[in-house]
Structure 1
């Protein structure tokens, strides 16, 4: 269970997050399985297209369906304002820093918090001397490290001090994610609240004088 993503997913869903589970280690596929999958997917596309045509012709004769707006996605503009938080463990921290460098503007505009757990990233080699990136990770990243200290206590190491570091509440690498989950989601909640407050402070206040022509 400690190696499973299920506890993390359950906690995220309880906090009303949408969840994407990434597996950067899954990089190869058996050629035989790939050919079978491609053949199956082609059949599915043809079948789906047929069903789509039938559905359109059917609904064209019916009254419009009663729909309710999606939460936080009522319009195309609102749909694109989703904020993203990352939880990365071990080598995942290195992968995230690589993503930050390669997709700098996208990551900095969409990601409001990053929780790293015993990360294997290397800021000097990956981010270099980019002042903007260094300032961003300082304010948007926090790392939970294996330590004999109680959970969430400061745990600075000599090699890493680019952003806040706290104890994961365990000295075992495999137990660190499950041990630090409660602390991580509290961090996400606080970071999202801070971002929301900043965004709302930038919204202009409409006054009676400002509406005059």
Structure 2
């Protein structure tokens, strides 16, 4: 089975431009510091808040690093049916999300996350070793193979794409099994032709 990937890199933190210097701001922390220093920031055309920045298509897989995990869970809560039908899997990397808090203990969301998501975290364990969190067990969690937050995405990227490929194949296979195959005899029966 051939898998075709299209990648969209979302940076929901990059929403403003400084009119005075024409520099873009790249983080909420920089924005807070700069707003107090008198810069003239304007919203970028077509951009909005981090939570509104993300929409789903079909057979989408997300890789959410840090605050991106919180934004994805917010998207899931706000557009539950749409996301559950269109997103095949999600990878969290050192995510700041909290499913129990954000989903208001919605068991359907918690079950979907457990079934369709995995997380890699900065940890002293070797790559792909199971990591247990007592306070936050919402999906299978593995070591990213590094203790450095900034290196986690690159250290576990091959494992992430292997997982995403497996999940996409499973979703496509399930969809093919559940959709009826059109044959000439089925078509004739439906149209009444003989």
Residues 39-84 of structure 1 deviation map (CA, whole Å, 9 limit, x = unaligned): xxxxxxxxxxxxxxxxxxxxxxxxxxxxxxxxxxxxxxxxx97421
TM-score, reference length from structure 2: 0.72
Match status 1:138 vs 2:126: no
Match of 2:163 in 1: 187
Length, aligned pairs only: 157
Structure ranking higher in strand proportion: 2
Hey, what's the Cα distance between the residues in 2 that align with 1:126 and 1:31?
A: 35
Match of 1:19 in 2: 7
Root-mean-square deviation over aligned CA pairs: 2.4
Q: Secondary structure at the match of 1:92?
A: helix
Residues 98-144 of structure 1 deviation map (CA, whole Å, 9 limit, x = unaligned): 11111222211111110100110111210112122111111111000
Where do 1:96-107 residues align within 5 Å? 96-107=72-83
1:174 to 124, 127, 150: 150
Unaligned runs of 5+ in 2: 23-40, 46-55
Residues 12-55 of structure 1 deviation map (CA, whole Å, 9 limit, x = unaligned): xxx742111111221322245589x98xxxxxxxxxxxxxxxxx
Where do 1:104-183 residues align within 5 Å? 104-183=80-159
Match of 2:32 in 1: none
Match status 1:30 vs 2:53: no
Q: Secondary structure at the match of 1:29?
A: strand
Hey, what's the Cα distance between the residues in 1 that align with 2:139 and 2:18?
A: 41
Structure of higher CA gyration radius: 1
Shift of 1:201: 1.0
Unaligned runs of 5+ in 1: 1-14, 39-79
Q: Secondary structure at the match of 1:17?
A: coil
TM-score, reference length from structure 1: 0.66
Q: Secondary structure at the match of 2:90?
A: strand
Match of 1:204 in 2: 180
Where do 1:67-78 residues align within 5 Å? none
